[in-house]
């Protein structure tokens, strides 16, 4: 495994956990990105400001990491546009169907011992494992 990076994974996980905790502590809100994003378009005033700040922080943090860690991180840019659009649609559909996204269920829901979130996260993980297996071993598509 050449891409095994436990230190950066631990640091990233800790930062995600800390930010989810702080959002819950100060705002009483779950850090589910789909809910934060949809609320950005359905709320106004101060309730909208923290949502916009949170989402901008996600994007700026990713951009900053890409600038600072250029030797260890590169974006794949050879995906067909139709697959990207289809993938985005399927993620949105799954988020709505599952009443939340992986960040809301997997990070915050499990931390709150929500049975619904535990089941949803198990389904997310099983679906991801099945997808990788099908792509690599059944359809023989290289990573």
In angstroms, the Cα distances linking 110 to 17, 55, 89, 105 are: 12, 22, 26, 6
Q: Decide if 42 contacts 50 (C-beta within 8 A).
A: no
So what's the pLDDT on residue 119? 92
**17-29 mean pLDDT:** 87
- Report the number of distinct structural domains present in the chain: 1
Per-residue model confidence (pLDDT) at position 118: 93
Write out pLDDT tens, residues 87-102. 888 888 888 887 888 7
Q: What is the dihedral of CA 100, 106, 110, 115, to 10 degrees?
A: 50
When comparing pLDDT for 3 and 84, which is higher?
84
The CA distance from 7 to 72, in Å, is 13
Distance in angstroms (rounded) separating the CA atoms of residues 41 and 30 = 17
| 3-state per-residue secondary structure call for 32-68 | CHHHHHHHHHHCCCHHHHHHHHHHHHHHHHHHHHHHH
The verdict on residue 125 lying in a domain is yes
Position 1 in a domain? no
Asked if residue 53 is part of any domain, the answer here is: yes
Query: Whole domain around residue 92: which residue ranges?
Result: 6-138
Domain membership flag for residue 44: yes
In a domain, 78, yes or no: yes
| 3-class DSSP state of 112 | coil
pLDDT band at 142 (very low <50, low <70, confident <90, very high): low
pLDDT at 136: 86
**How do residues 61-76 score in pLDDT, each as one tens digit?**
888 877 887 666 666 6
0.85 exceeded by the pTM?
Answer: no
- 25 domain residue, yes or no: yes
Asked whether residue 143 is assigned to any structural domain, the reply reads: no
In this structure, is residue 61 part of a structural domain?
yes
Return the DSSP state at 100: S
How many Å apart are CA 24 and CA 35, to the nearest integer?
Answer: 14
């Amino acid at each position: 495994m050449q891409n095994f990076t436990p230190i950066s994974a631990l640091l990233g996980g800790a930062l995600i956990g800390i930010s989810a905790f702080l959002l819950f502590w100060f705002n009483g809100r779950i850090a589910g990105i789909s809910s934060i994003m949809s609320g950005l378009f359905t709320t106004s005033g101060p309730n909208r400001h923290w949502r916009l700040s949170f989402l901008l922080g996600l994007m700026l943090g990713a951009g900053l990491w890409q600038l600072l860690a250029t030797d260890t991180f590169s974006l794949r840019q050879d995906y067909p546009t139709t697959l990207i659009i289809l993938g985005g649609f399927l993620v949105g559909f799954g988020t709505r169907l599952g009443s939340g996204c992986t960040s809301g269920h997997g990070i915050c829901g499990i931390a709150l011992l929500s049975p619904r979130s535990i089941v949803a996260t198990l389904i997310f993980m099983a679906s991801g494992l099945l997808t990788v297996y099908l792509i690599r071993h059944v359809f023989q598509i290289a990573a």
